[in-house]
Structures are given as C-alpha cells and as structure tokens.
C-alpha cells in the first residue's frame, strides 16, 4: 500500500500500529513508518470545524454518526485514528494511529498519543495522558488492554502495557523504567513496563541512596487484584475500598 492508502486503512481500522498476538502484541513497523512518512509529505493547510479554525498537516476525523461514536465538543480526533462503535469522547484528543476499542470512555482532557492501543470497555478518566510511540519503527506503543480503569491524572508512556481489567489509582505515573512492585505476598515482585491483568495499582515511593543522601523515588505498588465478581464497570473508588484505601 502507498502511504496515503495505509493511513486511510488505519482510519477505517483495517490495519493497526500493533495488534494482539496470542498472549503478547505484535508491532507493525511498516505502519509506524507510513505515519512518519505521512507527516513528511503532508503540507500545512487551514480547515474549519464549526466555530473552530485549524491550521495543520493532518485532517480531522469525521463521520462519527455512521461510526456510532459520541463526540462532545471540543473533542478532537485526527484522521488515521480508529474509533470503534460505542466509543465516547468527552473533550479530549486522539492522535493519528491510535486504536480505541468498543464502548471505551475517553474522559475530559484525556489525551491518547500516536499509535496507542486502547482496548474495549476501558475508562480513561479525566486528565489521563497516554503517550505516543512511533520511533524507531518497531518500538511498542502504549497498550491498555480490555476492561482497564485508568484513574484521573494518570500518565502512561514509553510503551507500557497495562493488562486487562487492571485498575490504576489517580496519579499513577508509569514509564518503561518505573518499577511496578507487587507487595501482596511475602516478598516483592517487580515489573518494568508492565501491569499484570486485574492488578490494583497505587502511587508509591521507595528509597534510593545517592552520594548526597537517600531520597524517595517514584514507583507504583500493586496492592491487590480485582475479584472475579467485580463488574467491569466498577468505579475506581469501589475498587480501592476493597483494599481499605
């Protein structure tokens, strides 16, 4: 496919930057490369959407009624992002190459970066920042799997994968290097760039010695797991109350 054909296929959901492959994910480097090339070949041009004026290289997505997507002004999605039926966009921003699954809520002032993969029945709460990853081609984007709840003002970047039905409490910040520590057993279990399915995660710190002294560095703590009886639409507060928080 040409670059233009690839971006149009992305917009229709026929190709993806990354897709499930068994228990893992496969990155489509050629699709990432096409997005980068699209930025290079496109020219700046003005556009209008109702009262809003724009001047950009990438056109806006359209046809929401036919897609079955609710879009609350001034939410914006770029052409080349795919929105499944039942998605709700509160005032938010979706970048090119993002893929959002059925019945997912993108809440007010949340942002979904280039190539990010967001599953079905996910809730991205207010002010959530999902990072974009396009370079180098082959780099894994941020992946939020089905049923996850991402609390207000969380930040997830650098190709972090959040497992299905996991719950991140407000203000959790995850990068590829931030430790995610399971403290529910007799010994800590540490992950990097990954949150296991159904984990309930809160912000934390742990001490680290430096020449100038010992300081607390950010980490994330797995304090429990959602029970099988927990409904997918449970609120963050309900999930945290189960662990006396």
Look up the pTM and report it. Answer: 0.93
Structure-token match 């690839």, residue found: 6
**pLDDT at residue 49, as a whole number:** 82
- The side-by-side arrangement of strands in the sheet containing 88-89 is 70-71, 88-89, 105-106, 123-124, 149-150, 167-168, 199-210, 213-225, 179-182, 189-192
Whether the Cβ atoms of residue 191 and residue 177 lie closer than 8 Å to each other: no
Reference 131, options 108, 170, 162, 105; nearest CA is 162
Band the pLDDT of 135: cuts 50, 70, 90: confident
**pLDDT at residue 245, as a whole number:** 59
First CA to last CA distance, the chain:
51
SS (H, E, C) 108-144: CCCEECCCCEECCCCEECCCCEECCCCCCCCCCCCEE
Reference 148, options 234, 70, 81; nearest CA is 234
Q: How far, in Å, CA of 109 to CA of 72, rounded?
A: 11
pLDDT tens for 17-41 read: 999 999 999 999 999 999 999 999 9
Reference 124, options 162, 159, 181; nearest CA is 162
In CATH terms, is domain 3-241 a member of 2.40.50.140?
Answer: no
**H or E element at residue 148:** none
pLDDT tens for 79-106 read: 999 999 999 999 999 999 999 999 999 9
């Amino acid at each position: 496919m040409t670059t233009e054909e690839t971006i149009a296929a992305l917009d229709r959901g026929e190709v993806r930057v990354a897709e499930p492959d068994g228990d893992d994910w496969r990155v489509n480097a050629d699709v990432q490369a096409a997005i980068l090339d699209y930025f290079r070949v496109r020219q700046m041009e003005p556009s209008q959407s109702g009262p809003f004026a724009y001047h950009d290289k990438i056109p806006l997505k359209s046809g929401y009624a036919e897609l079955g997507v609710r879009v609350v002004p001034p939410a914006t999605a770029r052409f080349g992002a795919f929105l499944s039926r039942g998605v709700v966009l509160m005032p938010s921003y979706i970048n090119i190459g993002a893929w959002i699954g059925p019945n997912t809520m993108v809440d007010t002032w949340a942002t979904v970066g280039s190539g990010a993969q967001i599953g079905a029945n996910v809730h991205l709460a207010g002010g959530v920042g999902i990072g974009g990853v396009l370079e180098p081609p082959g780099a894994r984007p941020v992946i939020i799997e089905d049923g996850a709840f991402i609390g207000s003002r969380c930040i997830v970047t650098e190709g972090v994968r959040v497992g299905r039905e996991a719950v991140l409490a407000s203000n959790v910040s995850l990068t590829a290097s931030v430790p995610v520590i399971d403290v529910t057993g007799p010994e800590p279990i540490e992950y990097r760039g990954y949150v296991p399915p159904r984990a309930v995660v809160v912000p934390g710190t742990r001490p680290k010695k430096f020449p100038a002294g010992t300081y607390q560095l950010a980490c994330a703590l797995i304090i429990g797991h959602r029970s099988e009886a927990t409904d997918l639409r449970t609120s963050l507060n309900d999930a945290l109350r189960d662990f006396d928080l």
